């Protein structure tokens, strides 16, 4: 290759133009700041003024290093050799705002909501007792849930309970459990809770999807659901209000609890579970607040459901545990569904036909 004089002149010119940029970047790197942030004379002057006033402050208020902390919390990106989003930000003030929100109103109102709901349910049970049957049990059982339906329900319910308990330990444990059981036991418990929470979360999400597909057909709203709601399900008036396989209260729990809060807590939980998707801190903080509020609301609501599914309604738990309920129970709690099964208009949950379908004309749903 021949080196011409013109070529050499171009090369030297280029070197002269780029040299300041290259040396500037190298200098900025050794000073710990990216090339784009090389200091101007103004910022150097401002820094020396700040150092001066900090030195004066130390005279009158020894130990007060507020400016240092103000700068650290500003969220300004500094140099680090660790590559990744915000790796150059040590701390920032939004984290304090998030911490105050979480340890303040969210814990206060959420914690009291859980406690109050337990008290309300206890008082309600003491005053009203369980919702019983109006007529004597028939002594003949009818299939209410197939094995698959029960597995779908319990997979969701058990994973929900594990998430609920481990979540509450993570939220309140430091304040309520740590003083009682000490650092060693609490550290062990919190680590267990965190790992259970992280791994059971996806199981819950999957079981919610299976549950939705299994039960959505029987949760579609019907006109008689509005009548049921207006009459409050007859809980206080002690009357039997007819409904389909599930009453309007259960349907609201299905749409608002299982689908609504289930989706919100799952989506925000996934954001928290996978920080390696490079989401910035503000996204994690918002996801944490949304997740915690939705989960607390979910727990409070689930308590009423658990109450109604056990002590609150005579015979309901048998259906979900063994799959069968007394025919009087079915007639009083799911009249239209019972009549449809008896009349042969729909199959039993396991897909079989009822043993003795009615031979009479279909009954009207008045």
Taking alpha carbons only, the member of 285, 268, 293 closest to residue 97 is 285
Q: Is 219 in the site for ligand HEM (CB under 6 A)?
A: yes
Residue of 259, 306, 343, 358 interacting with ligand HEM (CB under 6 A): 306
Nearer to ligand HEM, 153 or 197 (CB): 153
Q: How far is the CB of 306 from ligand HEM (least distance, A)?
A: 4
75 Ramachandran zone, left/alpha/beta (phi>0; psi -120 to 50): left
Task: State which residue, 103 or 310, has the beta carbon closest to ligand HEM.
Answer: 310
Non-local (6+) Cβ contacts of 98 within 8 A are 285, 288, 289
Residue 218 beta carbon to ligand HEM: minimum distance, rounded to whole angstroms: 6
Is residue 157 within the footprint of ligand HEM (CB under 6 A)?
Answer: yes
Q: Of residues 113, 155, 161, 311, which one binds ligand HEM by CB under 6 A?
A: 161
Which range touches ligand HEM (CB under 6 A), out of 34-42, 244-252, 343-351, 353-361? Answer: 244-252
| Beta carbon of residue 94, minimum distance to ligand HEM (angstroms, whole number) | 32
Kindly state whether residue 320 participates in binding ligand HEM, applying the rule CB under 6 A.
yes
Interface residues for ligand HEM in 15-74 (CB under 6 A)?
Answer: none
Token pair 């070529």: residue = 7
Q: Which one of 186, 224, 228, 254 is in contact with ligand HEM (CB under 6 A)?
A: 254
Size of the site for ligand HEM (CB under 6 A): 24
Q: Which is nearer to ligand HEM, 10 or 140 (CB)?
A: 140
CA 45 to chain CA centroid, Å, is 49
Compute the least distance from the CB of residue 177 to ligand HEM, in Å: 22
Structure tokens at 115: 């406690």
Residue 309 binding ligand HEM, by CB under 6 A: yes
Total count of residues recorded for the chain: 366
Half-sphere exposure (Cβ direction) of 20: Cα atoms closer than 13 Å: 4
- DSSP sequence for 184-202: HHHHHHHHHHHHHHHHHHH
Of 186 and 333, which CB lies nearer to ligand HEM in the complex structure? 333
Backbone angles phi, psi at 236, to 5 degrees: -90, -30
Binding mask 134-153 for ligand HEM (x = CB under 6 A): ----------x--------x
Q: Nearest Cα to 214, choosing from 247, 259, 256, 163?
A: 259
Burial class (CB in 10 A: 0-12, 13-18, 19+), 204: buried
Nearer to ligand HEM, 104 or 129 (CB): 129
What values do phi and psi take at 285, rounded to 5? -70, -40
Q: Does 272 bind ligand HEM (CB under 6 A)?
A: no
Helices 281-309 and 262-273: crossing angle in degrees, nearest 10, is 140
Kindly list the residues in this chain that would bind ligand HEM in the complex (CB under 6 A): 144, 153, 156-157, 160-161, 215, 219, 246, 250-251, 253-254, 257-258, 302, 305-306, 309-310, 316-317, 319-320
């Amino acid at each position: 290759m021949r080196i011409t004089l013109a070529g050499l002149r171009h090369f030297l010119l280029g070197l002269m133009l780029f040299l300041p940029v290259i040396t500037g970047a190298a200098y900025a790197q050794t000073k710990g700041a990216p090339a784009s942030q090389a200091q101007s004379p103004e910022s150097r002057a401002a820094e020396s003024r700040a150092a001066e006033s900090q030195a004066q402050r130390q005279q009158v208020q020894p130990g007060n290093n507020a400016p240092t902390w103000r700068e650290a919390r500003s969220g300004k990106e500094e140099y680090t050799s660790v590559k990744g989003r915000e790796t150059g930000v040590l701390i920032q003030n939004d984290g304090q705002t998030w911490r105050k929100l979480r340890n303040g109103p969210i814990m206060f109102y959420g914690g009291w909501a859980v406690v109050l709901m337990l008290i309300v349910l206890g008082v309600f049970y003491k005053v009203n007792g369980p919702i019983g049957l109006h007529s004597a049990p028939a002594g003949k059982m009818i299939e209410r849930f197939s094995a698959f339906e029960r597995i779908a329900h319990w997979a969701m319910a058990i994973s929900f309970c594990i998430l609920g308990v481990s979540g509450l330990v993570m939220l309140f444990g430091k304040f309520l459990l740590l003083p009682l059981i000490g650092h060693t036991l609490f550290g062990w418990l919190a680590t267990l809770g965190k790992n259970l929470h992280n791994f059971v979360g996806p199981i819950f999400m999957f079981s919610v999807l299976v549950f939705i597909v299994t039960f959505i057909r029987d949760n579609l709203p019907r006109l008689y659901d509005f009548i049921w709601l207006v009459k409050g399900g007859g809980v206080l008036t002690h009357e039997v209000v007819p409904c389909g396989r599930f009453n309007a209260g259960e349907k609201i729990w299905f749409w608002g609890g299982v689908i609504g809060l289930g989706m919100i807590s799952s989506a925000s939980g996934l954001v928290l579970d996978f920080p390696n998707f490079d989401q910035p801190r503000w996204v994690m903080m918002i996801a944490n607040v949304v997740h915690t509020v939705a989960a607390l609301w979910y727990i409070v609501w689930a308590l009423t459901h658990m109450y109604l599914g056990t002590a609150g309604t005579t015979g309901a738990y048998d259906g979900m545990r063994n799959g069968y309920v007394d025919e009087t129970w079915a007639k009083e709690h799911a009249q239209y569904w019972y009549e449809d099964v008896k009349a042969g208009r729909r199959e039993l949950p396991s897909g079989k036909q009822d043993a003795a379908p009615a031979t009479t004309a279909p009954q009207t749903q008045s």
